[in-house]
């Protein structure tokens, strides 16, 4: 009996019904990706060439040990504070720009959507215009804005603050509106139908369910603003980027290594702030 059961042929092996579709998608993706990589001149094997490894090794060896010169550490502390101030002021101004634009673009806060009325097409036209404005603000990179504003304000963090405010204002406004729309909009709709104002519908209908995600995304954008502030320093906007540019031009790898360590600490700071805000708003 047991022998008969053990010798019985096994059932058919189950097959993935979507295997052919996934294989086709993979082949098509590779067919599209390969010419794109060729056009971008992507040649990763060049990294493992003997000459490249020797050059990279000698370059990285200059980063050890990090510089602990008191005079340089004083400059590093000042540049770090300047970078944080630039990023924080830029995000604060971006928030001021983004909040009313996101409020105007959020479809669930539209009174005209409750029912047909003469103002319905006015609201749609306004939201389309705001959406276009947000697209324009975020379409131009902050580095390009910084290059233009440095000509107007001269060298220093003022150009970086305004560049961050314009670009990140467009980003925050778009994502804020999408977060508010993605949540449960029924409380806001009920408030509007009961005769409540749009601000009250936002504060009591949409924000309670979206506060965590809004805060987390804002802190993430602040982290991005810190990195962008560093990059803009290379075009004269001050901060850690300008100090890094000077250290690299002087071929001082120890100073550059210390600056990179500060970058890492700033990212960890942003992660910690995001975690704390999530717990507070939970």
CA distance 36 to 47: 20
- Calculate the dihedral angle through the C-alpha atoms of 231, 169, 138, 246, rounding to the nearest 10 degrees: -10
* Per-residue buried b or exposed e for 39-60, using 16+ beta carbons within 10 Å of the residue's own CB: eeeeeeeeeeeeeeeeeeeeee
Domain boundaries, the chain: 70-281
pLDDT number for residue 176: 92
pLDDT number for residue 112: 62
pLDDT number for residue 120: 63
Percent of the chain with pLDDT over 70: 89
Percent of the chain with pLDDT over 90: 9
Interaxial angle between packed helices 207-232 and 70-105, expressed in degrees from 0 to 180 and rounded to the nearest 10:
140
Residue 179 confidence (pLDDT) above 80: yes
Q: Could you read off the pLDDT of 229-263 as tens digits, one per residue? A: 888 877 777 788 888 888 888 878 888 889 888 88
Q: Could you read off the pLDDT of 117-153 as tens digits, one per residue? A: 555 666 678 888 888 899 988 888 888 888 888 888 8
The CATH superfamily assigned to 70-281 is MetI-like (1.10.3720.10)
First vs last Cα of the chain: how many Å apart?
62
pLDDT number for residue 197: 80
- Tell me the pLDDT band of 92, cut-offs 50, 70 and 90: very high
Of 185, 191, 173, give the one whose Cα is nearest residue 210: 185
Q: Could you read off the pLDDT of 187-230 as tens digits, one per residue? A: 888 888 777 788 888 888 888 888 888 888 888 888 888 888 88
Residue 108 confidence (pLDDT) above 70: yes
Contact 170, 99 (CB under 8 A): no
pLDDT number for residue 175: 92
CA distance 123 to 154: 41
Q: Could you read off the pLDDT of 158-173 as tens digits, one per residue? A: 888 898 999 999 999 9
Q: Could you read off the pLDDT of 32-57 as tens digits, one per residue? A: 888 887 787 777 777 777 777 887 78
Question: For the residues 21-27, what does the mean pLDDT come to?
Answer: 85
Of 235, 82, 244, give the one whose Cα is nearest residue 151: 235
**pTM assigned to the model:** 0.74
Of 140, 138, 145, 137, give the one whose Cα is nearest residue 229: 145
Task: Return the structure tokens found at 15.
Answer: 């097959």
Burial of 203 (0-12, 13-18, 19+ CB in 10 A): middle
Residue 12 backbone dihedrals phi, psi, to 5 degrees: -65, 140
Question: For the residues 87-104, what does the mean pLDDT come to?
Answer: 91
């Amino acid at each position: 009996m047991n022998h008969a059961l053990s010798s019985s042929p096994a059932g058919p092996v189950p097959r993935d019904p979507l295997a052919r579709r996934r294989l086709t998608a993979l082949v098509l993706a590779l067919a599209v990706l390969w010419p794109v990589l060729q056009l971008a001149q992507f040649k990763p094997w060049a990294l493992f060439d003997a000459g490249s490894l020797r050059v990279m090794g000698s370059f990285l060896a200059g980063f050890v040990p990090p510089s602990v010169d008191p005079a340089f550490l004083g400059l590093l502390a000042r540049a770090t504070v300047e970078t944080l101030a630039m990023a924080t002021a830029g995000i604060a101004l971006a928030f001021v720009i983004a909040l009313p634009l996101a409020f105007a673009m959020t479809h669930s806060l539209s009174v005209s959507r409750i029912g047909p009325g003469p103002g319905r097409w006015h609201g749609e036209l306004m939201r389309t215009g705001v959406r276009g404005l947000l697209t324009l603000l975020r379409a131009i990179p902050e580095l390009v804005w910084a290059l233009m504003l440095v000509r107007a304000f001269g060298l220093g963090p003022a150009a970086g603050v305004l560049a961050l405010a314009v670009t990140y204002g467009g980003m925050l406004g778009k994502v804020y509106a999408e977060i508010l729309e993605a949540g449960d909009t029924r409380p806001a709709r009920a408030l509007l139908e009961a005769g409540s104002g749009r601000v009250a519908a936002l504060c009591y209908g949409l924000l309670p369910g979206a506060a965590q995600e809004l805060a987390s995304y804002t802190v993430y954008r602040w982290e991005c603003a810190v990195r962008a502030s560093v990059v803009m320093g290379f075009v004269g906007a001050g901060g850690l980027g300008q100090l890094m540019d000077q250290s690299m031009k002087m071929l001082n790898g120890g100073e550059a290594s210390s600056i990179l360590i500060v970058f890492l600490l700033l990212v960890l700071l942003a992660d910690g702030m995001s975690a704390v805000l999530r717990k507070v708003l939970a």
